[in-house]
Every structure is written in structure tokens, then in C-alpha cells.
Chains A and B, each alone.
Chain A
């Protein structure tokens, strides 16, 4: 069910997917354990103390109608505080543990001791697609091309409504809010790609953004280093030609206003041009 994830982080940078999987398995293991214990304890006691029609024990002292409520002290209250104390310890250690790993995720490629990001890309969500703006001015629609073995930083925003950019495979997600840039990052480490080979990850939108929300998908394409450089330079050159020629630097991309049909948004555009 969980698709293949990037588990290796070179350069001392742990991928978000790896951190997520670690915390998730700790929480899932502990949560299941506690859940099973509590639920079985509850069911067992409910069974044990069911009213089976036998004579009540002498110590049984049911409340009477109209009495002012009094709580019960005694051994049960002690038990209550003991279990409460235990649960507090579990919860607080989980917070501390999860917080340590949060700092890793938050710093990402900016953390000391790791190589800084190899590329920064601006991601602009719109109804209904994603635009990627590369440092050299090239833009693509719905497909993000990245080189392998690198750390990529994304600055995510929106040009219309609130979207959420997310890639389940990579365990990354970031809100795309108009007027605001939120950041996330990922690494493209993994099995070496030969020239011509690609690895893809699906992009989905995680915030209801209008009628085409269900179809607001895209792809991250991880390429061989050389292939990527060739592609990147070609795009830059094409961009230059175009701006020389017509003055309009749209790089043959459909800037989004022509997306009447949401399914169109599924196909990468402007790249093969």
C-alpha cells in the first residue's frame, strides 16, 4: 500500500519519508499496543461485572434516586491517578521524541553539516494545475523535472485560491496560499539512473480548491544528472530565443487560463515543445 519510498539520505540529510516512516511506526506500534490493552481491559471488566442476576455482594452500594452526587475515592481513585500518570509519561515522551525529528525536517537542507540545496524551485498552484519556476527563468506546467542525487527546495504559493501541494511517495506537503510562500524540500537520492531513465512521483492537491480539485495532479520526474542538465540548458536557450523573437517569455507553456477541461491538467505541457 505504501509505495516505494526514498529511504536513503546521502550527504547526512535524512529524507522526510524516512523520518515520517520512523515516527509513524513508533506511534502506530505504541498506539496499537495501548489501544489493545485499554480496550481488552474494558471489555474484560464489562464482562466480569455484568449483572448476571445473582445476589449482589454486600459491599455493593448503588446510588439512590435524588442523592447528591458523590465521587468514589478509595483504591479505584488511586488506580485512576496511576493510569493517568502512566499515560502522561507516554504522551510527554512522544512529544519530546517527535519534536527532535521535527527540527530535522524544519531545517532540511539548511541544517549545518549537510550540503545546501542544489536547486530551488518556486511552485505556483492555480485552478487547476501546478506551475514550476526554475532559477533560470524556465517554467513548466504540472511536471517538475529534477536531477538525481540532489536536495531540492520548494517555495510554494498560489495565484488564486488555497491549494495544498503534496507528494505522497516522498511524504512532502505544503500549503499553497495566495500572497504567501511556504517551504518544503525533498531529496532525489536512490538507485542510480542511467541516461534516459526516469523515476516519477505523483503530485496531488490536498485542499479543496474548486471543481477540478480531484484532477489537480502532476508529476515529479527525477532524471539522470546529465539528461537533466541537457534539458535545463535547452529550455533556457529556447526561452532566450523566444524573448528575443517575440518579447513574450512564456516558453510555450500554457499559463493556466486555457485549462477549461480539468483532465487536461493531468498531462504535462510545454515541455516536449
Chain B
């Protein structure tokens, strides 16, 4: 653990784990990607100046279209909302920080560095050119062979890893660290919208991770999922849109949360029908997973499914209606202050209403048939997603005084809003007028040229308006007046009750709402007035995860919360290097197969990428171990509201959320297997392999589930020997599993002739599915064994006697891996 350097030191920004610092990093980085995505948008608009313009080449145009979508949806919208979430959710619920500060910094660095990987992909022979929806099979190397295409998808995968970590962190924080007296229903609506967002993210991004992993396997290992004519293209559609529709709300909800806050703060009224708004938000989050095929109405999906999804799609507009009406009625009888933040929030609602109404059109299937792939869709989702983001700009004006300690210039802010709003409607409303133009096409009907030219001018205006904002913030930060603690009259939430900017550890005393309003209780856990220390702790009181477990040797009042660690950055950097290497590894290594394993020839034509891959992998392992060994202390809140997870300890709760997302990852792989098999004709496939090795492996893994339980039992009994013995047994069983697996694969490849792309029994895609799905499971076993090895070494040195919880968390993971096998075994070995 290192001390946190001052804000003026560059080093601070690489080591900080404090939620407010990370929030600022997110915000600034997201604005950088806004500029990047905006530049790409302008390139598109210039190409549309006249039909068939040659401003960009065909492929460059497709690349601009693709990266504009990817950057705006992934690298700008969500992270911009999560900048605020990082900064203000802990403040709004009365927490000191997020539940896992280092994990939070890791999320940020994964995000930032994945964006750099995306940038690099442009220089790897051209980046992805498939559109952000990456439809199969255009997304496989046969049609998009550039290394940059693989690089862009790897960047996306890395981004998703960061998102998953962040999701787990926010879920745990909101469920574990609410101040006394703050029930779930009492949370401010911005926090509520973030909670709904992270729940959707947990499941939706797991599906995206799965689909990205399958695609990477196709692109790097050469498997043939998405080029398979047995439903490969449709499989992509289903998996992508299962993620893609919730994603719309994932980017919109943080903005909605800002709207809900700002409408109250600037009208001086409380939200009308608050409880129902929260219920509507929850309903939308659930329903968002039941509408995805409305993106695929023109495929061969049958009428029954179409009808169902039409009803759910139009039905999902109802809870939104309620929220919109609630916002409008909140203004009535208020004293509305038209400050810049409110103007943006108000404008956002206007834009969202247009986006919502035009969205109902798309829900009617007959209209959707015609709108599909046209500028109607483009206009609609910009009104929804960018219209929503308009509220986020309201958010940045609203919170700028809190985050920077300075007031911005109100006049410049209003000028920004007016120009922004005019530019916005010029670009996107003209798209409605030219809606018959196909998407992503630059050779269009000359009749629409005036509309597209008008849109291009609007885009320039829209883009320039942001420089007013940047100038405003830069000038105010340098020479603006100091911001008071609460510059807005009618605010309610706790971030306004502390100084601007807030102190490092947020609060003077312990925030509590036990009396019905915010109070700071001064019996804080300081050395002078709380000598009982650990005995009073209700929640274990120490440690977060393996690695932090040895802090029990300190009396905890001697421990200050840690705020600095270099390992999140280092681990992300290693991951970035590893992924960069992976993008080119398949094109720099030639593998010639032979009849035996030893006859396989490997020629390395270009050592750069393989070297990066190897260095990155070593770096990941090294930094992960350093992370595990670091003395980093994130104190859990002693007194907190935790419903509905009262009895669950912090790290265990995080582990549960992680496993829930992993269930979706495997669920997607298993669905893929079933989907393709149904498309190929279920009964035309026989199991590829003998069931005996699979059966033995089932027993091996199930036995290892018992040994890991016994390891925990002995750790609890403080028996070092027992712990070491049963951890070793677990590792040995895991190795046995892997050896049998290796033998089986070897047998299949060299004796039977079933490889990743060839199947002597029949359908080649069956072989692909077998290797990739069991391979993913095998990878989970390998990771489990690495963690078990880490635990074993530490157990040998005497760890886990006082605090056996890391063994328990590992056990949860290991059981999960075993259960997955129990599902895979019948799927691949019996039927």
C-alpha cells in the first residue's frame, strides 16, 4: 500500500482508488471519446454531403460508421454516466467509497486502455468495418480479414471485462453500504437508476462477453460458429440483440436518473408518484430482456414469437409513459429555475418524447418491416440515446461545482444549450425527413440531398457547441468563483451536504438517516472513543478478499482506509498488452498439422505479436499475484442498511454477483450449442466422443467439490495441515480432470480425426462447438487451479487460520465450475 499523492501530482491519477478521483477520470476520458466519436460522425456527415461522394473510400466510410457507433455507445455514453455514478452514488447513499476500491480503479483502467486498443486497431491494417452491430458472417476473417478488426473486438472484450467488474462493484456497494436508515426505496433516484442500470448490465454484458468470446474464437482460433450456415448468422443476431436491447436502457437510465434529480432540484417539488416511478424503472429493466427479436422481425422468426415480442415491445413504452408524465407533473406549482443544468434536463425530456413516439412506430411490425435499415431507425435511436445523453450534459453542469469546487459561467452555459439544441434537431430531425435512405449508405436518392446537407450543417453546429462547454469549464476551473457547498436552492441529496469538493473520506461523522433526515453521528470509529474495536464489529470488520486477509493481525483502529494502489493500472496494462498481442497472433504463427502431436510444425513468421502475447500473459499473472499480496484496506461499513442481503458478507456478495454473470456467459454458450444443433436438425447429431472419459471426469470434479468443502472445514478448525491437504487434493483432482480432457482431445484429433474445423462423423460445426464450449470450461478450471495454487502457497505460510473466508469464496467459484460441467456432460457426451 502506498500513500495517495496530492492531486497536483501526476502519479496520483495512476494509483488512486478513491471513487471521486476515479469518477473524474471517467468523466474526462468519456469526454475525450465524445470528441473522437464526434469527429467520426462528422466524417460520415461530410460523406453524405452529396450522393456517392468520394470523401472517404468505401471501406473507410464503413470503418467510420462502425467506430462511431462503438465509441459513442460503449466508450462515451455509459462511462460518462458512470463518471457521475462513481462520484455520487457513494455520496448519495452515505458510503465512504465503493465496496471494492481497487476493483473500481481496475474497471476504469480496463476501460481507458481498451479505448487505446480500439484506436490502435485503426493502424493494424484498418479497423472493423461491419457496423457496430457486427452482423455475422461479415464479422469473420473471411470477409473482414484485417488484424484491426480482431483488435477492435478484443478492445470491446476488454471493455466488457471492465464493465463486469464495475457492475459487481456497484451492486455490492448499493446493497451493502447504505447509511443507517436509508432503505432501498429511500435512495435518491439517480442512485436508483444506476442500480437498475447495473442489474441490466450484469446480465446483458455477460451475453455480450459470451458473444465476443465466441467471435474471438472464430477469428483467432479459427472455429466456425458464425460462418456456419446452420443458423450461425441468426445466432449472432439473437445473442447480440439479447444484449443490444437492454443496452439502450443501460445508456439511457443514468441520463434518466439525472433528469429525475434535476427536475426536482430546479422546480422545488418532490417527484410525483415516486414509488410508481421506481416500480416502472424496475419493470423496464426486467422487460428489456424480453423484446430483443424486434430487431429481427425480417428474419425467419415465426409469427407467434413476432407477435409476442411486438406486444412486449410496445408494452415497454407504458412504464416510460408513466415516468415522462411524472416528470412533467413534478414541474407544476413549482418555482422553476431555468439554469443551464435544468435547460439540458428539460431539453432531454423534449427530445426523449420525440424518440419515444417514433419508437412506438417501430414496434408495429408492418412499419418495422419498412423502417428496418433506414434512417428512421437512425433518427429514432439518436433521439433516444443522444437525447438522453443531453440530460448527462445537464448533469455535468449540475455537478461541476461539486466536483471542481468552482462555479461555471451561467451565460456561456445557456449559449451552449441553445446552440446544442438547434444543432441536435437540425441533424436528427432531417433524418426523419429523409428516412427512406438506407442506413450506412452514401450513394442515396438525390431527392434527399437537401435534407442530408441540412443535417451535415446541423452536425457541425452541434459539434462546435461543445467547445463552448470545454472553454467554460476550463476557464471556470482556472479562474471561476469558488462554489459554495450547495449552490442550488432545493437540493435534497447528501452530496450537497459536504464541501465542494468533498474531503477524501467524504464525511466528518458517520452519516445516518435513522431520524428520518441526514445527520452526522460523531461516535465515529476513532481510536479515542472506540476501544472495543473488533469486538463491536458486526460484520467481521476486516479484510476484503484473499490478500487482505492478513490484516486481522492489526487492531483495525490502527488501520486507515487505503486509497492508492498501482496494481489496478498495472494489471490493466498487462491485459492490454496481452490483448494487443492476441490480435495478431494467429496471422504470425503458422501451424502445420500432422498425424501425431509431435509432428505438428510451428513457424513464427513475425515474432512481435507472439512476444506481446507472452509478455502480457506473464504480466497478468505477476500483477494479479502482487494485487493478491498487497496490503490494501477497504473498511466495510460497520452500520449499514443491507436489505435484502443483510447476512451476507461483502466479498461473498460480490462473488455471488460475479457468478450470476458467469451463469449468463455459460448460458449463452450452451444456448449457442442448442440453437445451432436445432438449426442443423437435433437428431442428425450423435455425441462426438465416448461417454466414459466424460463420466470419469464428472466424478473427478464432483469429488473435488467435496475436497474444497473439507478444506474450508479444516481452515475453520484452524488446522493448517488439513487445509493444505485438502487444497492439494482439490488441485490434484483438477489436474486429473485436465489430463483426462487433454487425453480426450488428443484422441479425438489424432485417432478419430475430429478437429476444430473438421468432423469425420458429420457436421464440422459440431466439432467447433464441442471444442470451444468444453474449452471455455477448461479455462475456468485452469483459472481455478491458479487461484487454488495461490491459496495453497499462502496456506503453507500460515494464512487463513484466523480468516478462512478466501477459501470459502474460492469454494463458491469451484462449485460453480463443477455445476457447469454437470450440464455440459449430458449435452456433449450423452445426447
Contact = CB atoms under 8 A, between A and B. Distances in A.
Interface of A: 1-2, 16, 19-20, 23-24, 27-28, 31, 34-35, 38-39, 41-42, 45-46, 49-51, 56-57, 59-60, 62-72, 76-77, 79-81, 83-84, 87-88, 91, 94-95, 98-99, 101-102, 105-106, 127, 160-162, 164, 166, 168, 171-175, 177-182, 204-215, 217, 262
Contacts of A50: 335-336, 338
A72 B270 contact: yes
Contacts of B328: 38, 41-42, 45
Given A35-B357, A49-B336, A106-B303, A178 B490 contact: no
Given A20-B370, A102-B310, A162-B138, 5 more contacts: A38-B353, A51-B336, A161-B137, A177-B300, A180-B231
B331 interface: yes
A102 B366 contact: yes
B233 A162 contact: yes
Given A49-B331, A175-B299, A208-B131, A80 B439 contact: no
A173 B338 contact: no
A98 B447 CA distance: 30
Contact of A207 (B52, B61, B373, B489): B373
Contacts of B317: 91
Nearest to B489: A62
Nearest to A56: B335
B366 A23 contact: yes
A71 B275 contact: yes
B564 interface: no
Contacts of A27: 360-361, 364, 367
B135 A179 contact: no
B367 A62 contact: no
B311 interface: yes
A83 B276 CA distance: 14
Contacts of A34: 357
A162 B299 CA distance: 11
Main secondary structure of the interface of A (DSSP, over half): mixed
Contacts of A99: 307, 310
A16 to B, nearest CB: 8
Nearest to B436: A168
Closest 7 A-B residue pairs measured CB to CB?
A71-B274, A206-B373, A179-B229, A66-B518, A98-B364, A62-B268, A51-B335
A177 to B, nearest CB: 5
A178 B518 contact: no
B438 A80 contact: no
12 contacts: A1-B448, A20-B366, A20-B369, A28-B361, A49-B267, A57-B333, A68-B513, A71-B270, A166-B372, A175-B296, A180-B231, A206-B374
Contact of B270 (A41, A49, A63, A160): A63
A39 B298 CA distance: 33
Interface in B356-383: 357-358, 360-361, 363-367, 369-370, 372-374
A91 B135 contact: no
Contacts of A88: 318, 321
Nearest to B346: A46
Nearest to A57: B333
Contact of B350 (A39, A57, A168): A39
B141 to A, nearest CB: 13
Given A94-B364, A215-B443, A68 B143 contact: no
B344 interface: no
B462 interface: no
Interface stretch (B102-110, B181-189, B282-290, B681-689): B181-189
Contacts of B438: 166, 204-206
B711 to A, nearest CB: 45
A71 B322 CA distance: 14
B273 A71 contact: yes
B504 interface: no
Contact of A60 (B335, B365, B366, B441): B335
Interface stretch (B210-218, B492-500, B534-542, B555-563): B492-500
A65 B366 contact: no
Given A23-B364, A27-B360, A42-B328, A208 B65 contact: yes
Contacts of A214: 52, 58, 61, 440-443
B322 A70 contact: no
Given A72-B270, A72-B271, A80-B326, A66 B360 contact: no
B336 A46 contact: yes
Most buried by B among A42, A161, A178: A161
B704 interface: no
A9 to B, nearest CB: 15
A211 B130 CA distance: 9
A252 B96 CA distance: 76
A68 B311 contact: no
Given A160-B137, A179-B231, A31 B52 contact: no
Choose among B318, B443, B679 the residue with the greatest number of A CB atoms under 10 Å from its CB.
B443
B565 interface: no
B349 interface: yes
Given A84-B325, A164-B298, A181-B300, A70 B270 contact: yes
B58 A212 contact: yes
A20 B367 CA distance: 6
A101 B369 CA distance: 13
Contacts of A95: 310-311, 314-315, 363-364
Contacts of A1: 433, 436, 447-448
Contacts of B370: 20, 24, 168, 171, 173
A2 B435 CA distance: 10
A35 B354 contact: yes
Contacts of B131: 208
B425 interface: no
B826 interface: no
Interface string B194-225: 00000000000000000000000000000000
Interface in B111-162: 129-131, 135-138, 143
B138 A45 contact: no
Nearest to A71: B274
A127 B491 CA distance: 58
Given A39-B350, A65-B518, A213-B62, A70 B274 contact: yes
B503 interface: no
Contacts of A175: 296, 298-299
Contact of B360 (A68, A94, A179): A94
Nearest to B318: A88
Contacts of B274: 69-72
A16 B186 CA distance: 52
Given A19-B366, A62-B490, A181-B300, A164 B372 contact: yes
A210 B62 CA distance: 8
Interface string B254-278: 0000000000100111111111110
B496 A80 contact: no
Contacts of A178: 137, 229, 232-233
A69 B325 contact: no
Contact of A65 (B130, B358, B492): B492
Nearest to B447: A1
Given A62-B269, A98-B366, A181-B300, A173 B372 contact: yes
A34 B360 CA distance: 12
A201 to B, nearest CB: 13
A157 B305 CA distance: 21
Contact of B321 (A19, A49, A51, A87): A87
Given A84-B322, A208-B440, A214-B441, A177 B299 contact: yes
Contacts of A160: 137, 143
Given A34-B357, A175-B298, A214-B58, A68 B181 contact: yes
Contacts of B442: 214
B790 interface: no
B183 to A, nearest CB: 9
A230 B367 CA distance: 37
A32 to B, nearest CB: 8
A38 B497 CA distance: 36
